[in-house]
Structure 1
């Protein structure tokens, strides 16, 4: 159901158990959103310097961030039938996820989470972005947060 192409460009070694948890979180997201075709996600772990450069280039924000998502399809969730029909070859590429492992580790400590839990959450969050969800407006943010909590099993 899900193919993940990993690229670790950070100085951190990512344990296989963490990768398995990330993949499980992303697969749960696709199931929750009733995506029933095989999908592929490109997933990169990068340094603070690299994500700052990407954030500056693509979002005009010259600062470190935890994750960036680059969807392959605009509003996938709204147009899934057409997108799937027009892309008969599987797996269907959803897009790219770029995570700053240093920022994820900082946030995990800040929120009292494990690094694995933080990376899983960021993966869920990013897959939702790849599917067309956003959190710019308050109603969008509430809807996205509700879905994230449901997938992560948070109360």
Structure 2
């Protein structure tokens, strides 16, 4: 197995093309390579501002839309539950994919930000995707040092696939 995206489109504002998915898969491969991750699955869902607003309120207690949310499956914090896959006695188990987590992107917000920053929607979606992927791996941007580290990693990956500002 390698790194793979399983995606779902729950918005109707912008069509999600095969070319966009191929670009995001390329970003995933480059980011995974940079981080030493060569297998796993990322579940990606495209939504509108209304849906991401609901999720942001429900899971983060923030009553406004955001651009991207990430939900890591492999966190090992004190309050995290261990996920165990059980099989019936005598039954051969299937290989269970290493699901790294979920990334949810508001295409509405991505369109707004692409206009605001003066670059393409593809560049903004690529940025949000790699940003979400790094969150799945445990990166954060709570202070200036960690934010600079994340930004550097994101920009390197985007440059490798030709998505510069």
Tell me the TM-score normalized by structure 2: 0.81
| Higher CA-based Rg | 2
When the two chains are superposed, the root-mean-square deviation of aligned CA atoms in Å is 1.9
In the other structure, the counterpart of 1:26 is: 28
User: Which whole-Å deviations, capped at 9, do the CAs of 1:73-92 have from their partners, x for residues lacking one?
Assistant: 1269xxxxxxxxxxxx4531
Q: How many residues get paired?
A: 143
> In structure 2, what is the Cα distance between the partners aligned to 1:27 and 1:120?
12
In the other structure, the counterpart of 2:136 is: 130
Q: Tell me, what secondary structure is at the counterpart of 1:91?
A: coil
> In structure 1, what is the Cα distance between the partners aligned to 2:147 and 2:66?
18
Tell me the TM-score normalized by structure 1: 0.86
**Equivalences for residues 75-90 of structure 1 within 5 A:** 89=95
* Distance apart, 1:125 and its partner CA: 0.5
| Structure 1 stretches of at least 4 aligned residues deviating more than 4 Å after TM superposition | none
Q: Which has the higher helix share?
A: 1
Instruction: Could you tell me which runs of 5 or more consecutive residues in structure 2 were left unpaired when the two chains were aligned.
Output: 78-94
* Distance apart, 1:152 and its partner CA: 1.4
